[in-house]
């Protein structure tokens, strides 16, 4: 566990970046520091590996004061990932990843072997090993940064807004990759972001900081969204925090309608059988959705309505299901399996019923705890 005990960072000009901050950061979990600009997120992160020294208070790693450890060995025991990856431009991708093991005295062969293993773990093609950072996309560079931070198998990983410089689609992929890696490796991760959606998605625990580096609330994401500590936290979470909370309600139990599913080459009898449905979901020969058609009309691919964003029952949340229904021109969400094949469809009304039931169960559970 990392314990931050009444830590203050005050600069020579009197500016207080962090003000008597106390946090117990749990092992083998992702703790996210989030808040507005100037709230001391990055300063706090840098105090953990002593890139910044606190003015008052102490930071303890597994009960030991980090100030009693040599700073070089402390930093090498912690992976560090920053925005834009911070790669060495004159080194190949393989040698970038092998940097810390080489500093620790590993042989070149052993360090490069470890780097090659990590390229596969973070989803990088082995063909990129001999390339240089400028030859990679932003998302690929960030994956290299994560691999480099993991190279010496540190128990602690510090991540300072690592995904903020890439586009939203790449960012989502990197977030998913981090969650997958964390499920496999179980590191103690401290992650800084200004994005509350990212904090809620990644965090086991989320610390919301106020300007001036004071702690506003420290809680699991679902508790943060359902019970903000005060008006500041509520405002920071935004007006759509109820929608974000749906991310924690599973979609596995949604009843799916299969009658509206018809293949593109369906015959007239098949269409007639499904004519009581408001729309038909047309699929290709492999069962993947192509779009919506009105019953009784010819199934012409170029005349189909967009089927919106599908969701995966049991994997995605009620938020994803609702999003799919809202984006669909028919008001119905499409459920697919892991291969993208249509499993069925579900209406906004049914999703709404499921949301009300989930809120009811959550309220009952909260009451039982109290």
Whether the Cβ atoms of residue 61 and residue 11 lie closer than 8 Å to each other: no
Residue 125: pLDDT band (50, 70, 90) is very high
Q: Is 268's pLDDT higher than 50?
A: no
pLDDT at 273: 52
CB within 8 A of 320, min separation 6: which ones? 251, 309, 311, 312
For residues 105 and 369, the model is more confident at 105
Q: Is 359's pLDDT higher than 80?
A: no
Find how far residue 48's CA is from the centre of its chain: 22
Domains of the chain: 2-238 (3.40.50.300), 261-355 (3.10.580.10)
pLDDT digits (tens, 9 = 90+) for 45-59: 999 999 999 999 999
Q: Is 275's pLDDT higher than 80?
A: no
pLDDT at 370: 38
Whole-angstrom CA distances from 342 to 109, 142, 256, 270, 309 are 48, 34, 10, 17, 12
The tokens describing 314, both together, are 């049991």
Q: Which of 177, 164, 99 lies closest to 138 in space, CA to CA?
A: 164
Whether the Cβ atoms of residue 200 and residue 223 lie closer than 8 Å to each other: no
Distance CA 293, CA 307 (A): 10
Largest CA distance in the chain: 82
Burial class (CB in 10 A: 0-12, 13-18, 19+), 15: exposed
Residues 331, 334, 340: CA angle, nearest 5 degrees: 155
Q: Which of 49, 5, 65, 14 lies closest to 215 in space, CA to CA?
A: 5
Q: Which phi and psi (to 5°) does residue 23 adopt?
A: -145, 140
Distance CA 328, CA 44 (A): 43
Whole-angstrom CA distances from 270 to 142, 276, 297 are 50, 12, 12
Alpha helices, H only, the chain: 41-48, 71-76, 93-97, 99-103, 108-121, 138-150, 168-185, 196-202, 221-226, 231-237, 241-245, 268-273, 318-327, 348-369
Helix axes 138-150, 108-121, angle to 10 degrees: 130
Section 197-203 average pLDDT: 93
Distance CA 31, CA 50 (A): 18
Distance CA 133, CA 130 (A): 10
- Beta-bridge mates of residue 7: 21
Whether the Cβ atoms of residue 141 and residue 131 lie closer than 8 Å to each other: no
Distance CA 128, CA 163 (A): 20
pLDDT digits (tens, 9 = 90+) for 7-27: 999 999 999 999 999 999 999
pLDDT at 364: 53
Distance CA 160, CA 162 (A): 5
Mean of the per-residue pLDDT values of the chain: 90
Q: Helix or strand or coil: residue 190?
A: strand
Residue 276: pLDDT band (50, 70, 90) is low
């Amino acid at each position: 566990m990392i314990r931050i005990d009444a830590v203050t960072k005050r600069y020579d000009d009197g500016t207080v970046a962090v003000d008597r901050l106390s946090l117990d950061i749990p092992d083998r979990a992702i703790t996210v520091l989030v808040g507005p600009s100037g709230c001391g997120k990055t300063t706090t992160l840098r105090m953990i590996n002593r890139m910044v020294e606190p003015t008052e208070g102490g930071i303890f790693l597994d009960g030991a004061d980090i100030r009693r450890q040599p700073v070089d060995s402390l930093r090498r025991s912690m992976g560090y990932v920053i925005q834009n990856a911070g790669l060495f431009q004159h080194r190949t991708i393989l040698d970038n990843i092998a940097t810390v093991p080489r500093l620790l005295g590993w042989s070149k062969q052993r360090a490069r072997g470890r780097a090659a293993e990590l390229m596969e773990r973070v989803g990088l093609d082995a063909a990129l090993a001999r390339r240089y950072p400028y030859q990679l996309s932003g998302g690929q560079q960030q994956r290299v940064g994560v691999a480099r931070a993991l190279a010496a198998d540190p128990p602690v990983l510090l991540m300072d807004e690592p995904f903020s410089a890439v586009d939203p689609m790449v960012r989502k992929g990197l977030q998913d990759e981090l969650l997958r890696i964390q499920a496999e490796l179980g590191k103690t991760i401290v992650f800084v972001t200004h994005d509350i959606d990212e904090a809620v998605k990644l965090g086991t625990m989320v610390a919301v900081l106020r300007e001036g580096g004071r702690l506003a609330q420290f809680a699991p994401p679902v508790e943060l969204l359902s019970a903000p500590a005060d008006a500041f936290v509520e405002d920071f979470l935004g007006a759509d925090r109820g929608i974000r909370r749906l991310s924690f309600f599973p979609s596995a139990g949604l009843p799916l309608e299969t009658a509206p599913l018809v293949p593109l080459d369906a015959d007239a009898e098949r269409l007639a059988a499904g004519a009581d449905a408001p729309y038909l979901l047309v699929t290709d020969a492999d069962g993947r959705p192509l779009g919506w058609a009105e019953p009784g009309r010819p199934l012409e691919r170029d005349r189909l309505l967009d089927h919106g964003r599908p969701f995966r029952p049991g994997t995605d949340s009620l938020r994803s299901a609702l999003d799919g229904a809202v984006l669909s021109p028919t008001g119905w969400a499409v459920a697919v399996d892991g291969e993208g094949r249509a499993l069925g469809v579900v209406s906004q009304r049914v999703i709404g019923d499921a949301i009300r039931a989930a809120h009811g169960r959550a309220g009952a559970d909260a009451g039982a705890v109290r």
